[in-house]
Structure 1
Amino acid sequence: MTMTDPIADMLTRVRNANSAYHDVVLMPSSNIKTHVADILKREGYIGSWSVEDAEGGVGKTLRLDLKYGPNRERSIAGIKRVSKPGLRVYAKSTALPKVLGGLGIAIISTSSGLLTDRQA
């Protein structure tokens, strides 16, 4: 079965696992998901990520190791998708709003690949 919006599926899996205090999230892998995982790792929102062979299936599996504070505080307070397949959102780099007053990040798809709002 094909997925209409694999990025939204990834974010939902991370959000659900984070809410349930899971240590690991597994999902089907793709290039864009690995780029998103790399940005989340660089910014300190997840511990690590890796791509593994799928068990008994075709393709690869993306494994995210979620990160929590010393008292199991979540490092990801909220995660959502703004631009969706049914409603695309376009903005100039100067018009990007601050996420959580500058404490959060926005991941932007540009002609140079995926960047954070600070890099754009």
Structure 2
Amino acid sequence: MALSDPIGDMLTRIRNGQRARKSSVMAPASTMRANVLDVLIREGYIRGYEKVDVRKGIAELRVELKYHEGEPVIREIARVSTPGRRVYSKIKDLPKVYNGLGISILSTPRGVMSDHEARQANVGGEVLCRVF
């Protein structure tokens, strides 16, 4: 079955894994998913990830989830821009997530980055998701 929203699928796997108190979750590998996970690592929301070859030509990403005192570090993770409704934002119009406590992940011409990094680089783009 083909996925219409691969990033949304990965975010749902992370959300469900944390609700089930899993130490890691698996998601099909892609460059865009890996870039989103890199941002989550830099911002401290996950412990890490690794690319695992399932069989020849098929790879998956094993995402190591992070907990603090038994509670998931990610309280909320939501897709903003979907394949049916793309959401783009200039950097000056990008709202802060929970007054700066959370992050938005953007796909910009300079790569995938958090809203904080995008503000420093003064570049806008597609708002992929928000994390708190």
> TM-score normalised to the size of structure 1?
0.94
1:36 aligns with 2:36: yes
- For the aligned residue pairs, the C-alpha RMSD in angstroms reads 1.1
Match of 1:16 in 2: 16
CA distance in 1, matches of 2:9, 2:56: 19
**How far did residue 58 of structure 1 move?**
3.8
1:116 aligns with 2:114: yes
1:63 aligns with 2:62: yes
Match of 2:95 in 1: 97
Q: Which moved more, 1:10-19 or 1:56-65?
A: 56-65
> TM-score normalised to the size of structure 2?
0.85
**Partner of residue 75 from structure 2, selected from 66, 77, 86:** 77
Listed as ranges, the gaps of 5+ residues in structure 2 are: 119-132
SS at match of 2:89: coil
Listed as ranges, the gaps of 5+ residues in structure 1 are: none
- Runs of 4+, deviation exceeding 2 Å: none
CA distance in 2, matches of 1:6, 1:91: 21
- 1:48-99 Cα deviation digits (max 9, x unpaired): 1100101x46411100100101x20110000001111111111101111010
AA partner of residue 117 (structure 2): Q
**How far did residue 34 of structure 1 move?**
0.6
AA partner of residue 32 (structure 2): I
Report the identity percentage.
Answer: 47
CA distance in 1, matches of 2:73, 2:56: 32
Higher strand proportion, which one?
2
